[in-house]
Amino acid sequence: MFSLRHFKNSIFGSGLTLEALQAQLESVSVPYTDIDCRSCPNPCDEGHEPYPNKFNVDTESTMFGSVKPYHRQIVISTGKMDWDREITSTKNSLAAHVQHVMHTAPISAPPLATEPKNKRSIHVSGVFNCSDSNKISILNGSHHTISDNPEYETVLVFPDFKMVTEVPRSLDGAKALWDAALEPSVSTLPPVNEKSNFSSWIIPYSCVILLCSHKRRDNRCHIAAAQLGQAFAHTLEEHGWTVDTEIEHPLHTMGPPLEELQGTDEENEEHITKQFQELASEKRALILRNSHTGGHRYAGNCIIYTPRGSGVWYGRVSTHEVESIVSQTLEEGLILPPLLRGGLNISRPGCKSLNDW
Ligand SMILES: [Zn+2]
């Protein structure tokens, strides 16, 4: 039988107790809950599918703080659930082209004027804002492009919570995408770029759940993603959510693309904020598989993005924790500290929930 001390160490690593972690989160205004991550008894009597016996993950080292700051993260349509080991070395892939553009483009400073003035005031490793980094993280996703032309990709951009469609799978396409949506000085929204041929929308979901599934990097994530995908879909449906694993074309639900908004900047911003707020309460989830994000030893790994602009990275997730993630993090907007690897825009001074506007 495990002692309490062993239990704590196994979750937080030998260097960080639950109390210390909670204190750190409190010090940077991260809304969290102290309820159990596991909703079922151990051993489980609720039929949650266990990982295979040989599914060994790192249960000792401190997981919190294992996410490095980034400015944006993109997820490129591939229609696949596994990819070359290095996605940016796949010839003629948009990932390769974006990587090339990123390494050759001069990067402007992040748009500090639109970020909180207390830049770099977050002193807890693993909790960060967009303005803490210029890095663009490139992932492949399992979604198919929604374009009629299979040469054009559909790219999800986080934390903007925006999707850019009609992106040619070419160097020119990557350059245009960079200029329109990725370059760190490009403001989040509205994305008015008259030169672009893209059509962009707010991602028409209340959350996007990314499950790391990169088998060629590590089979554990591949196994975990399959089980967690089913568990999330099942649990979300029990909670009254609808779940998609392919992106519904937003034209009919969201109206014309953002590039075609006719109002003043202020009016457009208001329109977009209203769309975000409506989506947040609609209980519609998009679950995708994604390529390597680092930290396979913490499988199952998932990242949860919301219209409010937060990106929550959880690790050591099994089917037993899915119920708590749905009820606490998705519905209540509260972090479950024992699962937390880190997060983007999760510091919310004055807010009781990540979902507060
Ligand atoms: Zn269980």
Q: Under a CB-based contact definition with an 8 Å cutoff, are residues 319 and 223 in contact?
A: no
pLDDT in tens, 85-134: 888 888 889 999 999 999 987 766 555 444 444 455 568 889 999 989 99
Question: Dihedral (C-alpha) 147, 88, 138, 172: value to the nearest 10 degrees?
Answer: -50
203 CA from centroid of ligand 1 (Å): 31
Work out the average pLDDT over 26-34: 96
- The pLDDT score that the predictor gives to residue 1 is 36
Q: What average pLDDT does the segment 224-234 reach? A: 94
CA of 105 relative to ligand 1 center, distance in Å? 48
End-to-end distance of the chain based on CA atoms, in angstroms? 44
Rounded Cα gap, residues 216 and 156, in angstroms = 23
Query: Rounded to the nearest 5 degrees, what angle is found at the Cα of 274, between the Cα atoms of 249 and 137?
Result: 60
Question: What separation in Å is there between the alpha carbon of 44 and the centre of ligand 1?
Answer: 4
H/E segment holding residue 200 = strand 199-202
**From the CA of 300, how far away is ligand 1's center (Å)?**
15
What is the 301 CA–ligand 1 centroid distance (Å)? 17
How far does the centroid of ligand 1 lie from the alpha carbon of residue 326, in Å?
14
SS3 for 223? helix
* pLDDT at residue 189 greater than cutoff 80: no
Among 80, 15, 110, smallest CA distance to 225 is for 80
Residue 233 to residue 286: CA distance in whole angstroms? 9
The pLDDT value recorded for residue 9 is 43
Task: Yes or no: say if 138 and 87 are a contact pair by the CB < 8 Å rule.
Answer: yes
Per DSSP, the residues of 166-184 read: EEESSHHHHHHHIIIIIST
- Measured in Å, residue 121 CA sits from the centre of ligand 1 at 39
pLDDT for 294-353, tens place per residue?
Answer: 777 888 999 999 999 999 999 999 999 999 999 999 999 999 999 999 999 999 999 999
Amino acid code (one letter) for 341: R
| Residues above pLDDT 70, as percent of the chain | 89
- For residue 36, report the distance from its CA to the centre of ligand 1, in Å: 12
pLDDT at 3: 40
- 56-66 pLDDT, tens per residue? 777 778 899 99
CB 139 within 8 A of CB 217: no
User: Residue 62 Cα, ligand 1 centroid: separation in angstroms?
Assistant: 23
User: 164: closest CA among 279, 72, 263?
Assistant: 72
Report the C-alpha gap between 118 and 223 in whole angstroms: 41
Position 12 scores a pLDDT of 54
- Tell me how far the alpha carbon of residue 50 lies from the centroid of ligand 1, in angstroms: 8
Distance 324 CA to ligand 1 centre (A): 11
Pairing state of beta strands 199-202 and 162-168?
antiparallel
How much distance in Å is there from the Cα of 71 to the middle of ligand 1? 36
pLDDT tens figures, 205-219: 999 999 998 777 777
How far, in Å, is the centroid of ligand 1 from the Cα of 235? 12
Ligand 1 centre and the CA of 174: distance in Å? 43
Q: How far is the CA of 229 from the centre of ligand 1 (A)?
A: 15
Long-range contact pairs involving 240-243 (C-beta distance under 8 Å, separation at least 24)? 240/283, 241/206, 241/283, 241/284, 241/285, 241/326, 242/283, 242/284, 242/285, 243/284, 243/285, 243/286, 243/287
Distances (CA, A) of 125 to 28, 63, 64, 305, 340: 11, 11, 8, 19, 12
Q: What is the pTM of this model?
A: 0.91
pLDDT at 264: 87
Q: Are 142 and 81 in contact (CB under 8 A)?
A: yes
Smallest CA-to-CA distance from 159 within 279, 99, 74 is with 74
- The whole-number pLDDT of residue 166 equals 95
Query: Is the pLDDT assigned to residue 197 strictly greater than 90?
Result: no
- Structure-model confidence comparison of residues 117 and 139, the more confident one: 139
Distance 281 CA to ligand 1 centre (A): 27
Per-residue model confidence (pLDDT) at position 297: 81
